[in-house]
Amino acid sequence: MVRDSSDVPHGADTRRGWIGVVLIALVVGAASGLGVGAGVAAAIRSQDTASVKFSPNMSVFRRMNDVRAVLARVLPSVVGIQASGPGCASGPFGGVTQTDEASGMILTPGGEILTNDHVIANASQISVTLNGQKTTYPAALVGTDPGSDVALLQVHGPSGLQAVSLGGSSTTQVGEDVLAIGNALALSQSTPSATEGIISAEGRSITAGGGTCSGSESLRGLLQTQAPINPGSSGGPLVNSAGQVIGMDTAAATSASGDAPTQNIGFAIPITKIRKLIPGLRKGGTVGAPKAFLGVEVVSVTPAERSAWGLSATSGALVQSVFPGAPAVLAGIRAGDVISMFAGRTITTDVSLTLAVRAARPGERVTVELYRGPTLLTISLVLGVKPAPQAGSS
């Protein structure tokens, strides 16, 4: 955690004095280079000195001097979101209802709420819990932009809500203090968690998701933050020292088994981008061009997966489950299959399949090669359109 450095250590005082000596020496040296050595020598003999002024050592970064004051301003505008829907047709969650818990932020006193698209994707029921309350309220999906991972909800019941203050992420600076707020680990729907850190980078591009049948999304232009973002924080606000929202908590970096673990690397969608999406979201429906949809949940083939599933393939995208009614189901693809080729592209990992599907078009007929046990099969199928979340209430 980066802290303020309001006290200047003694080492800094010593260094400042040394800089002053160097600057004086440079002034004398420059004069000597101009061929006025006699005049300089006379000045030295008369003990003339150069006067150098130093500006105060003040940081240009905005610091979080009073975390509690910022939280008091923001927490009433943060909500818990519960999104329920059918599980995948096969795999460990087949035939049951899944409930995901995440976060959102109140956009207007009338009950408009911003959250991530991946929070409510494929949900048939959406409910909202206000800060400090136990009552849940039904919410309906207004509009969503899956490509930007942003969705707009309307909660029904409460009124006169306290809306967040939207800042300008275009003025954020690397090194600036921030708070990430949300329903971390779903520990409490009505009392969000807060983590502190800095903006550690801007303009990041990531591939996020893969944990649902809908697949992954490629997101660009994100803020990277050192403030920890955990499962359940998605859709919550990333705020600056003035309590203004500068981004939406969206993703946290993870590492594959066996690699060194990541350390507090989270990502947020800049609020300047979200502002531009709001008018389109208010019109309803799905914003943006339709995306191709295969309808599988996959992981990369690893030694552990080979052992668990008894696979003969050494690489590829292992199908863990399939989405109900998806093109993959209609073509006969099932859990345990290993996709090795898609539309002429060699598939070696789950990410390579995600990128290959994203490069295709809805309605396009493609050829898929896959291993079912030791047998290599070739399947032809027509890609669908990635489904939008379903509005609903609880």
Catalytic residues: 118, 149, 234
CA distance 33 to 30: 5
CA distance 283 to 391: 14
CA distance 294 to 327: 6
- DSSP-assigned letter for residue 162: P
DSSP 301-353: --HHHHHHHT---SSSEEEEEE-TT-HHHHTT--TT-EEEEETTEE--SHHHH
CA distance 154 to 213: 25
User: Could you tell me where the beta strands, DSSP code E, fall in 234-295?
Assistant: 237-239, 245-252, 266-270, 285-286, 292-293
Q: Does residue 294 contact residue 350 with C-beta atoms inside 8 Å? A: no
- The pair of structure tokens assigned to 116 is 């991530």
- The pair of structure tokens assigned to 391 is 């509005």
- The pair of structure tokens assigned to 143 is 């509009």
- The pair of structure tokens assigned to 291 is 């995306």
Provide the 3-class DSSP secondary structure of residue 158: coil
Residues 167, 168, 171, 173, CA torsion sign: positive
Residues 289, 292, 296, 297, CA torsion sign: negative
Residue 100 CB neighbours (<10 A): 21
Q: Does residue 114 contact residue 248 with C-beta atoms inside 8 Å? A: yes
CA distance 226 to 2: 9
Cα separation values, 103 from 71, 115, 149, 232, Å: 16, 7, 14, 6
- The pair of structure tokens assigned to 85 is 């829907």
